[in-house]
Amino acid sequence: MNKQDKLIERGGLFIISYQLEGLCTGLRLTVPHGLAPGKDTVVILNKLLADFASISTGKLLNNLPKITESSSPVDILVMAETLRTSVLAFLSPEEISEHRKTIGFHAQSEGHTDA
């Protein structure tokens, strides 16, 4: 097997979707306990927003509120979730299927029984 055979290609939206999933998971685990996101969390969210904006078209991202370090933890979580679901809307059916499989939404195969 040569080096080229070992490479796995992923599209930009697919990668952004995973990064947003990780960010949202972290926020979902911390914000309800009163822990405010740090400045790096805001940097990551704004980077992912810029990455998505660089490969999307239309008015989808117009008039979204600016997220800063002074934004409330809830606003940061809501913005991250909004961006996450927006990115998911642009994934192909195959990418959505693969995304769900890797985060635990496996369809049961025929003949599979829970023993």
| CB-based burial, 22-34: b 16+ in 10 Å, e otherwise | ebbebbeebbeee
pLDDT in tens, 76-91: 999 999 999 999 988 8
Please determine, for residue 65, whether its predicted confidence score (pLDDT) is greater than 50.
yes
Question: Cα(83)–Cα(105) distance, rounded to whole angstroms?
Answer: 21
Q: How much is the pTM?
A: 0.77
What confidence score (pLDDT) does residue 4 get? 56
pLDDT in tens, 12-63: 888 999 999 999 999 999 999 999 999 999 999 999 999 998 888 778 778 8
